[in-house]
Amino acid sequence: MRLRAGAASSTERTAGLRKTLSSLTQQGVLEVTKTQILAVLLACLAAASLAVPPAVAQTAPRPNIAMLDINYVFKNHTRFKASMADLKAEMERVDQVLRTQRDQIQALQEELKGIKPSSPDYKVKEQNLARQMADLNIQAQAQRKEFLLKEARIYHDIYKEIQQVVGYYAAQQGFLAVMRFNGDAVDQENPDDVLRYINQDTVWFAQGMDITPVILETLNARAGVSASRTSAPMGTNPSRPTVPFQR
């Protein structure tokens, strides 16, 4: 009896609910409720779409290797050019001294021609001439060796400076290696130049990997000279950019 009563009570409640819904439909209340629910669902979908992170734009990976034209850097390095100019001036001064000594020796040779070989004076002058010629040769060789050592030290010091600047810049930019290349224009009529061109280790690289301008600018900034004011040497590409490397 209790089960039947419960079932009857449930049936009565269901019938009452249907009657109420029918009444609300007739009054337009149910339509309003549906509209409100739809609006809430749309708002939720909009919020969900905003919560989804936008797709990451596909970009080319950053290179971890950079390229550097060492020859171009040396040719436009302000302090290097100044050091080489000083060395050249010193070599010219020494050469002038040696020329003076050679002229004196030539004068002794001409004087010796006017003396009879059998005379005692001839033998003395001949020995003096031989001694001066030997001394001049030894002095010239010693000066040549000294200048070669000075030139080597200049190249060594500048190259070490380039390495330091490149190492610091590469660490800042996250490069794993910096490769050298030669960006000089190729003279097709010069077999040696063509051979140098085709024997390069680097066949091709993206232009964005060339860090030569920013390295040269950094080096010359130490001497207070902007890289944009340095003139391009003969044989180099005049269209080489002078703006810093962009990452």
For residue 247, is it within any domain? no
d(CA 103, CA 143): 18
Q: Which domain holds residue 35?
A: 2-51
Do 91 and 137 lie in one domain? The reply is yes
Mark 75-106 as b/e (b = at least 16 C-beta within 10 Å).
bbbbbbeebbeeeeeebeebeeeeeeeeeebe
Q: Which residues contact 225 (CB under 8 A, 6 or more apart)?
A: 78
CA-to-CA separations, 169 to 73, 207, 212, in angstroms, rounded? 15, 18, 11
Q: Specify if 241 maps to a domain.
A: no
Tell whether 70 and 22 lie within a shared domain. Answer: no
Whole-structure pTM value:
0.64
Do 225 and 132 share a domain, yes or no?
yes
Residue 97 lies in a domain: yes
Q: Does one domain contain both 135 and 201?
A: yes
Average pLDDT along the chain, 247 residues, taken 10 residues at a time: 48 57 51 54 52 53 88 96 97 97 93 88 91 96 97 97 96 95 92 90 86 95 60 39 40
Q: Is residue 217 part of a domain?
A: yes
- Whether the Cβ atoms of residue 210 and residue 67 lie closer than 8 Å to each other: yes
